Amino acid sequence: MNQNSGSSSASFLLNFHENMLNSFNVNTNQHHHYQQHPPHQHPHHNPPPLLPPHSRHSQQEQRQYAATAQQDSIKRHQYHHPTGLSNHLHHHPGRRKSDNKASTYGFNYLLSDWTNGNHVNSGTPWKTRSYSPGVNGLHEEIIDFYNFMSPRPEEATMRQEVVDRIESVIKEQWPSADVQIFGSFSTGLYLPTSDIDLVVFGKWERPPLQQLEQALRKNNVAEPYSIKVLDKATVPIIKLTDQETEVKVDISFNVETGVKAARFIKDYVKKYTVLPYLIFVLKQFLLQRDLNEVFTGGISSYSLILMVISFLQLHPRFDPRIPNTNLGVLLIEFFELYGRNFNYLQTGIRIKNGGAYMAKEDIMKAMSNGYRPSMLCIEDPLLPGNDVGRSSYGAMHVKQVFDYAYIVLGHAVSPLANSYPNKDSDRWAFTHAAFYLTLSVFSF
């Protein structure tokens, strides 16, 4: 291996090591959530040391220290694009969520002045070991990241207590009402910042939004100014933030699709064991770019999950029966497909019957009222007349950031790719590059 090329490439990748999680915080209720991006300080401000991994401090306390180190790291960095491309702008900056505490908005490229390779505890708290070279190391780090981000039993208990408090208010008003959980809390695919989705089933002519709003205020369940009634939405909901934990909750009425979708996703998690690993990384990737919600021009969690399912269904070499599939290769190929190769103008995604790519004209025939398919056209496997991606008005920006991730990886491996003149394929370079690829290359 060309030693100079390898070391410079490793340095480039490791420079991103400290920026992935951009902030975990632990409040008095032991709930870790993302801290607000702090103001810029002097570029040479040094980060505080992380707690030793085997100290008397809890893992959650170490997460808090990791958050501080990473945020101080961000304050020391300046914009830089290794390929000379301009930074990606968000599709609708005016709609950026002010409460997205995980966002690294405007900081797609964050470079540190660290050049050594010993970054085991440098702001990436999931990284507690040295990784193998190449995509095997990326595979190992994805597993560690997933294990670190996976909900802890105490967090699941805390969220269930939030549900119980809200359910008690609902039952006090309507004793026969049935409250069910759906969404990421139901499937287990939730990040620390994820909302809780609840649906209330009962006999009402119209959803009792205002009545429940008043009851929630009376019982001091939610932060007073957080309660919002969205009665004009396609699916009317109440949005609130739990007063004790600051967890956000969405409440809808008599809508069965969410519960059915949760069961559908659970079935595919059993079928594709790699699915949760990819979803956690991709959710975090979109979250920190304010592209994890349709309101900000992004895509919903349901859309993202369907995109990953379709990718796995139609992958020419992926076989769910084969253990130890390389997650690093799959992640790179996902970015390549949806960032570079997928034809958004003419093609729609179908999940049912084993999955297929469909001409949008064919999908349009099944749409209710002759609805025209959106740019990101995903046929709802549970409701064929529904286009899941129809509200993702910034789908092309999502495509751009996926392509951006693919470009960064390509740039990172290019020095070694040049060392092998007989192997000019990008895919070959990705799967054979003999240096450390880390999740941080996506500048989380």
What's the pLDDT tens digit per position in 307-334? Answer: 999 999 999 888 877 777 889 889 989 9
pLDDT at residue 113 greater than cutoff 80: no
Residue whose C-alpha is closest to residue 417's, from 398, 437, 399, 401: 437
- Given a contact cutoff of 8 angstroms between Cβ atoms, the answer to whether 441 and 13 are in contact is yes
Residues contacting 64, CB < 8 A, separation 6+: 24, 25, 26, 32
To the nearest 10 degrees (0 to 180), the angle between helices 395-417 and 327-336 is 120
Residue whose C-alpha is closest to residue 284's, from 151, 421, 404, 192: 192
Q: Say what the pLDDT of residue 29 is.
A: 36
Considering the chain, tell me which residue range(s) the CATH 3.30.460.10 domain(s) occupy.
153-259
Considering the chain, tell me which residue range(s) the CATH 1.10.1410.10 domain(s) occupy.
273-398
Q: Which one of 106-115, 331-340, 413-422 scores highest in mean pLDDT?
A: 331-340
Q: Which residue has the tokens 């960032």?
A: 339
pLDDT tens for 55-97 read: 334 454 444 333 333 334 333 333 334 333 434 444 454 455 5
What ranges make up the beta strands (E) of 131-266?
A: 178-182, 196-201, 228-230, 237-241, 248-253
The upper half-sphere exposure of residue 305, i.e. CA atoms within 13 Å in the direction of its Cβ, equals: 24
Q: What CATH number labels 273-398?
A: 1.10.1410.10
Do the bridges between strand 248-253 and strand 196-201 make them parallel or antiparallel, or are there none, so unpaired?
Answer: parallel
- Given a contact cutoff of 8 angstroms between Cβ atoms, the answer to whether 151 and 190 are in contact is yes
pLDDT at residue 368 greater than cutoff 80: no
- Given a contact cutoff of 8 angstroms between Cβ atoms, the answer to whether 33 and 24 are in contact is yes
Q: Quick one: pLDDT band at residue 115, thresholds 50, 70, 90?
A: very low
Residue 188 gets the label, from left (phi > 0), alpha (psi -120 to 50) or beta, of left
CA dihedral angle for residue 383, residue 386, residue 388, residue 391, rounded to 10 degrees? -150
- Identify the sign of the CA torsion 133, 138, 139, 143: positive
Identify the bridge partners of residue 33 per DSSP, sorted by sequence position: 25
pLDDT at residue 32 greater than cutoff 50: no
> What 3-state DSSP class applies to 241?
strand
CA–CA distance, 421 with 30 (Å, rounded to integer): 53
**Greater confidence, 369 or 361?**
361
Long-range CB contacts (within 8 A, 24+) of 278-282:
278/308, 278/327, 278/330, 278/331, 278/334, 279/189, 279/304, 279/305, 279/308, 280/145, 280/146, 280/149, 280/150, 280/189, 280/191, 281/142, 281/145, 281/146, 281/331, 281/439, 282/308, 282/331, 282/334
Q: Tell the CATH topology of 153-259.
A: Beta Polymerase; domain 2 (3.30.460)
* φ and ψ of 25, to 5 deg: -140, 150
What ranges make up the beta strands (E) of 245-322?
A: 248-253
Residue whose C-alpha is closest to residue 127's, from 16, 17, 278: 17
Residue whose C-alpha is closest to residue 388's, from 257, 288, 266: 257
Q: Which one of 25-29, 75-79, 304-308 scores highest in mean pLDDT?
A: 304-308
Please name the amino acid found at residue 417. Answer: A
